[in-house]
């Protein structure tokens, strides 16, 4: 399977399926159907079958999907059958929140480093972490071989920080700054902008 041939919109749905399957497993379920899974995630059964078929055959007609097996395979496809260390850069309100968030560990991610450039924050403890000096970011991230970072800095410095993260070997950036980052094709960026999400909702209001 060539990863480049799988549309990104399909890849974006796989974590949604995985989360729903994990919830079914937590409830003691061992089998499900595309119909049931579709009802859980708000996607048609036909679309789920089509999405999964991009990666092989996972179920049988009449018997559906074996939940533990499908969880295992989707975890492998998404490379979350391991734990990825993550750096958080920018320890303002958003940085504090994501550093303290407990929902990463069981989804394949672990925050290990937190950085900030404010002398008043450097050296302080947050969520069990000591905030490190951002001037040492490249050295520390490279030494720890971190491949994923969450960027929680102002837009005015986001591109500069992103460039330094890439220099340190980071391959994926979750960007909370309201700015489109310019990165090499080998680096993946996911932009998170709550204001845009709310504006999309209010379009439908009377």
pLDDT at 126 over 90: no
Comparing 92 with 56, the larger pLDDT belongs to 92
Domain with CATH 3.40.50.720 in the chain: 84-196
- The predicted model scores a pTM of 0.87
Q: Which neighbouring-strand residues pair with 156? A: none
Give the model's pLDDT for residue 67. Answer: 93
pLDDT at 106 over 90: no
Rounded Cα distance, 129 and 24, in Å? 33
pLDDT at 163 over 70: yes
116, 96 in Cβ contact below 8 A? Answer: no
Comparing 128 with 134, the larger pLDDT belongs to 134
pLDDT at 14 over 60: yes
Best CATH choice for the domain 84-196 from the list 3.50.30.30, 3.40.50.2300, 3.40.50.720, 3.50.50.60: 3.40.50.720
90, 116 in Cβ contact below 8 A? Answer: yes
Domain with CATH 1.10.10.10 in the chain: 3-77
Sign of CA dihedral 120, 178, 108, 4: negative
Give the model's pLDDT for residue 168. Answer: 97
Q: 3-77 sits in which CATH class? A: mainly alpha
pLDDT at 59 over 70: no
What is the average pLDDT value for the chain, to the nearest integer?
92
Give the model's pLDDT for residue 147. Answer: 97
Rounded Cα distance, 163 and 8, in Å? 24
């Amino acid at each position: 399977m060539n990863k480049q041939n799988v549309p990104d919109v399909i890849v974006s749905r796989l974590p949604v399926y995985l989360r729903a399957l994990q919830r079914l497993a937590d409830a003691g379920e061992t089998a499900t159907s595309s119909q049931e899974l579709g009802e859980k995630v708000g996607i048609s059964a036909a679309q789920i079958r089509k999405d999964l078929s991009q990666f092989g055959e996972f179920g049988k007609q009449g018997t559906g999907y074996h939940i533990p097996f499908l969880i295992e395979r989707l975890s492998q496809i998404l490379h979350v059958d391991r734990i990825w260390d993550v750096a958080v850069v920018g320890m303002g309100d958003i940085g504090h929140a994501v550093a303290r968030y407990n929902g990463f560990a069981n989804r394949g991610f672990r925050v290990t480093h937190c950085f900030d450039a404010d002398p008043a924050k450097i050296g302080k403890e947050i969520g069990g972490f000591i905030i490190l000096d951002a001037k040492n970011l490249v050295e520390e991230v490279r030494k720890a071989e971190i491949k994923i970072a969450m960027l929680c800095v102002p837009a005015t410095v986001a591109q500069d920080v992103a460039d330094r993260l890439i220099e340190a070997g980071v391959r994926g950036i979750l960007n909370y700054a309201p700015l489109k980052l310019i990165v090499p094709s080998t680096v993946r960026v996911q932009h998170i902008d709550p204001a845009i999400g709310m504006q999309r909702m209010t379009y439908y209001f009377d």
